[in-house]
Chain A
Amino acid sequence: MTTRHGGGFFRRVASQHIALLALLLCLPLAASAEVKEYRLDNGLKVLIAEDHKAPVATFQIWYRVGSRNEPAGKTGISHLLEHMMFKGTPEYGSKVFSRLVQKNGGIDNAYTTRDYTAYYQVLASDRIGLSVRLEADRMENLLLAPADVRDERSVVMEERRMRYEDDPQSSLYEEVVATAFKVHPYHNPVIGWMSELASIGRQDLLRYYKRFYSPDNAVIIVAGDVKADELIREIRESFGGIPRGPEKEPVTSEEPPQKGEKRIYLRKEAKLPYVMAAYHVPGFPDSDSAAIDVLASILSGKSGRLYRNLVRDKKVALNAYASYSGLNVDPYLFFIEGTVPPGGDAGDLEKALYEEIDRLKETPPSEREVQKAKNQMEAAFIMGQDSISFQARVLGVFEMLGDWRLKDRYIEAIRGVTPEDVQRVARRYFTRENRTVGILIPEGG
């Protein structure tokens, strides 16, 4: 899962949408691992899912802090702090962590989202003790050496250049999201704005670290070839003595309802125009979110409506996608987008995208389309279970929403979606007033 843009989340929107939907299912399979849950006195929650099919395990720690928590003027600090977490403690110097993991044949990585920051290692299962010790140490004792702060800030600025500044579709996405959200901190990109990133200093990072990196603000998730009762003892030993952190201030900003269409245009060096429309939508556990998921699925895939009607038949798109992520802490966006083919017209593509939405408002989808969406989610979930990383991620994502068991509620909701539900949510949320549209206009080249 080493993708150019990391995370494997959005490499291929259609199948990855399915994978996201699959995240929401918990099928009562004999083969699926039972989850054991523990809570330490200092508030640290631990989830362990045993799976003995291969002698490997993944150790993960998820902190409830992401870009939505960032103070004004310091966007990008969550992600920069994530980078700094690899720069050492007094006991394990910079890079020693990664080196130790690799020396043991493992991998380690981390990622930051709008809502959380997750650290993970995948190792031979008999080496998992290494993860326990290292993660406990860096939860408390991060060095944040000034020279490292300077260098890493520079690295993240390069990352921003690579992922956004020099990538036209990503730049467009950034513009659309920032336009759609005028109040809520989802307005800001996870990587941060360049000038604010450049202004982050050691004191800022230290304050942020002390505030959010504490056991009561974290969940440990382990999946793989481990013995839960032995492992929890090791975890208690390493983490039990770490004190609780300060009281966390909740994020109180709410995005008010959007009362009119917003449009933005981005001129950038690119070869083909791109059109992206975003709609404000609720997320899980709102009762509409399952139907929105199914709607996205009906539009996606090679046999889905966008490919059939826009790419294949009308040829107004080189490619076209729909994506919905219903697993954010606060309500986010539904995207429908595509690339204009050479010689094509952005207006035609935009019009065709709305036609697909309108069609769903006029007439509910077929029973077969809805059943296909459910089958896809089910299959993707089962196939995903082959990966311990997937298993851990499912637990983590729901835990960030409050409780890993919430995944059980979702499957019932998905299974219960009817064609009329899909029509209903299309009418409710996919209105002109609720949309933010971005058009990429190629320049030069």
Chain B
Amino acid sequence: MMKSLDAVSRVPEVVMHRMRSAAPSIPDRGQSVLLALAVFMAVVLIGCAQVWAIEARREVRPDGLVLLHAEKNNLPIVEVTLLVKASPSDEPPEKAGLANLVAELLPEGTKTRTSEQISEEIEFVGGGLDASAGRDYTTITLSVLKKDIDKGFELFSDILLNPVFPEDEISRKKELIKGGLRQSEEDPEFVAQREFRKALYGPHPYGRLISGSPSTIDAIGRDDLLWFYRTFYRPNNSILAVVGDISYEEVEALLDRYLSGWKPGAVPEVELPAAPGLKEKVKITIDRSLTQASMLLGHLGIKRSNPDYYAVSVMNYILGGGGFASRLMSRIRDDMGLAYDVYSSFDSGMYGGIFEVGVQTKNKSAKTVIGVILDELERMRREPVTDAELGDAKAFLTGSFPRRLDTMEKIAAFLTVTEFYGLGIDYDRKYPQYIDSVTKEDVMSVARKYLDPERYVLVVVADLKKAGF
């Protein structure tokens, strides 16, 4: 949950009406994914008057790399996304932050280029080349004008195949990451998230920051980085999507030219400790000199592979995922004026998930707001949702699909993530059916199964005296 080092938490010159988009961003939720896996995949929009298809092609290469390609010629750009199945779940806990540091260091020096040369070359052509580790996987992205694809792909393959992990860059990066963590401490939402996940997941990788902590970061040596890189950065452990003004033949030519030196290898299975689970309410309070209480309330959720995922999506939309259409927003913001933003979400990953309700409200309203949240959780478990709520939720989830695939960048990310979560050959036909078949009883059933107003973690970062804690 680390705040990006390059991000400025700074007032914008504009002030937005609402903070959170009602649509969960793709590709984490993998909503409305339509893929027909065969030699050709057609991605079809459901819920629109017109049918609109992206043709995407899937191939498993001899080295095990899954290649996904979609040609789009509306603009002379190419977007490349490589998903490597390397994440904090693959690192030893005492070296937490290893996956992240490896990703951060890929562009910081190769056999033939220094860190400065790499950034100069890609920025000179106005392209982007980034590597970052997420909770379940690492992504390396290249964004470049078609005319520069050769240079761009060469740089991309250079950082992928030939990173050197120079000692001085390692020390420098560690200092930047630790400094960034320090600065993130200023952000009450960051602090709340960190405590929340730790309380829910304990020693499980989902319980810690992707960047690690200062002591574990310090424990990482160059040998560790090399080991991690050599073990997990393998073509048979990766998915590559290329989208844009580029033909399949051109993509093959690039792979042959630049990635033929990338060798497959055995990749160890992940073994994870079980999440501890909650036996009772847990309350964590952190005192800060703030005008608002920043709060998180929640518990464990579901994995992405859970078949209840679709009913849960609908239920969550109604509860607090649907922005202004949601019950939490209606009550806490619209009716009571107590928050600018309040949401609920089921963050569903490969190895587990989290359910959380997040809100910021002035200190003295904190307890009132918690009461309303718990009330809404109970209500969802007790009463069926209305026909209107159900209909609206389904209409949004299916009808918003075109917007998730309306840029090449989104398409590239989407293709890799849906492949990663194994959403299936007939997912394109099944998804709208899954959503449309969700009934009021299903919504109540998953509410009872997955919402728990009795056993939860509550984290409050606030001026505790004013908040009454």
| Chain A residues within 8 Å of B, Cβ to Cβ | 1-2, 4-7, 9-15, 18, 29, 31, 53-56, 79, 82-83, 86, 94-95, 98-99, 102-107, 109-114, 122, 124, 126, 150-159, 161-170, 173-174, 189-191, 269-272, 301-304, 308, 311-312, 315, 318-319, 321, 325, 337, 339, 341-342, 368, 371-372, 375-380, 382-383, 385-388, 444-445
**B residues in contact with A29, CB < 8 Å:** 75
**Shortest CB distance A349–B (Å):** 13
- The answer to whether B119 has its CB under 8 Å from any CB of chain A is yes
> Which partner residue on chain B sits nearest A110 by CB separation?
B17
* Residues 5-25 of B contacting A (Cβ, < 8 Å): 5-23, 25
Q: Which residues does chain A contribute within 8 Å of B186, judged by CB atoms? A: 167-168, 269-272, 445
Name which residue of chain A comes closest to B333, CB basis: A155
- What are the nearest 6 A-B pairs in CB distance? A105-B399, A379-B126, A6-B16, A154-B337, A151-B337, A170-B11
Interface 9-residue window, one of B377-385, B403-411, B440-448: B403-411
Residues of A within 8 A of B282 (CB): none
Is B362 touching A109 in the complex (CB atoms < 8 A)? no
Which residue of chain A is the closest to B334 with respect to CB atoms? A95
Asked whether, in the complex, the Cβ of A173 is within 8 Å of the Cβ of B10, the reply is yes
Band of interface residues on B? 35 or more
Q: Which of B44-52, B80-88, B95-103, B259-267 contacts A (4 or more CB under 8 A)?
A: B44-52
For the complex, what is the distance from the CA of A378 to the CA of B116, rounded to whole Å? 22
Interface residues of B in 60-108 (CB under 8 A from A): 72, 74-77
* Contacting residues, chain B, for A311 (C-beta < 8 A): 176
The answer to whether A102 touches B74 (Cβ under 8 A) is no
Closest to A156 in B: B340
Q: Are B406 and A54 in contact (CB under 8 A)?
A: yes
Can you offer 13 A-B residue contacts whose CB atoms are under 8 A? A5-B12, A13-B6, A55-B49, A95-B334, A102-B322, A104-B395, A105-B396, A111-B17, A126-B50, A155-B333, A165-B290, A271-B182, A315-B172
How far apart are the CA atoms of A164 and B10 in the complex, in Å?
9
The residue among A11, A191, A371, A387 with the most chain B CB atoms within 10 A of its own CB is A11
CA distance A168 to B339 in the complex (A): 20
Does A6 lie within 8 Å of B19, measured CB to CB? yes
Q: Who on chain B is nearest to A318 by CB? A: B179
1/0 per residue B174-211: CB within 8 Å of A?
A: 01101110110111110000000000000000000000
**Is A190 within 8 A of B14, CB to CB?**
yes
Distance in angstroms from A226 CB to nearest chain B CB is 13
A31-B183 in contact (CB<8A): no
Chain A residues contacting B126 (CB-CB under 8 Å) are: 18, 372, 375-380
Q: Which of B8, B74, B336, B340 has the most chain A CB within a 10 Å cutoff?
A: B8
| CB <8 Å contact, B10 and A341 | no
Find A31's partner among B19, B75, B289, B408 (CB 8 Å cutoff): B75
User: In the bound complex, how far is the Cα of B179 from the Cα of A261, in angstroms?
Assistant: 30
**Chain B stretch 241-297: residues in CB contact (< 8 A) with chain A:** 288-292, 294
Query: Of A99, A102, A151, which one neighbours B336 at CB under 8 angstroms?
Result: A151
A50 to chain B, nearest CB (A): 13
B127 lies within 8 A of chain A by Cβ: yes
Q: Is the CB of A86 within 8 A of B17?
A: yes
Chain A residues within 8 Å of B294, by CB: 166
Q: A98-B325, A161-B291, A383-B143 are in contact. Are A107 and B14 (CB under 8 A)?
A: no
Contact A126 B49 (CB under 8 A): yes
Within 8 A of A (CB), among B201-254: none
Contact of B15 among A190, A304, A315 (CB under 8 A): A190
Question: In the docked arrangement, what's the CA distance between A126 and B407, Å?
Answer: 19
A161 touches which of B4, B14, B292, B330 (Cβ 8 Å): B292
Cross-chain contact of A375 among B11, B15, B124, B330 (Cβ < 8 A): B124
Identify which of B50, B145, B188, B340 contacts A379 (C-beta below 8 A). B145
A189 and B11 form a contact (CB under 8 A): yes
Q: Nearest CB to that of A304 among chain B residues? A: B123
State in angstroms the CA–CA spacing of A86 and B333 once bound together: 13
Q: Given that A6-B14, A12-B7 are contacting pairs, would A94 and B334 also be in contact in the complex, using a CB cutoff of 8 Å?
A: yes
Alpha-carbon separation in the docked complex, A112 to B183 (Å): 28
Of B127, B176, B179, which is in contact with the most chain A CB atoms at under 10 Å from its CB? B179
CB distance from A282 to the nearest CB of B (A): 17
In this complex, the member of A112, A124, A315 whose beta carbon has the largest number of chain B beta carbons within 10 angstroms is: A124
Q: Could you tell me if A164 and B11 are in contact, using CB atoms closer than 8 angstroms?
A: yes
Q: Which B residues are in CB contact (< 8 Å) with A102?
A: 22, 322-325, 392, 396
CB distance from B24 to the nearest CB of A (A): 10
Are the C-beta atoms of A173 and B11 separated by less than 8 Å? Answer: yes
Residues of A contacting B48 with CB < 8 Å? 55, 105, 124, 126
B360: interface (CB < 8 Å): yes
Q: Are B128 and A308 in contact (CB under 8 A)?
A: no
Across-interface contacts of B180 in A (CB, < 8 A): 318-319
Known: A107-B23, A110-B17. A158 touches B289 (CB 8 A): no
- Point out which of B23, B145, B335, B403 has the most chain A C-beta atoms below 10 A from its C-beta: B403
Fill in one digit per residue for B19-35: 1 if any A CB lies within 8 Å of its CB, else 0. Answer: 11111010000000000
A159 to B338 alpha-carbon distance, docked (Å) = 10
Beyond A10-B8, A31-B75, A169-B8, whether A111 also contacts B16 by CB under 8 A is: yes
Which of A157, A161, A168 has most chain B Cβ within 10 Å? A161
Given A55-B52, A86-B17: A6 touches B12 (CB 8 Å cut-off): yes
A7 touches B407 (CB 8 A): no
Determine how close the nearest CB of chain A comes to the CB of B360; give it in whole angstroms: 5
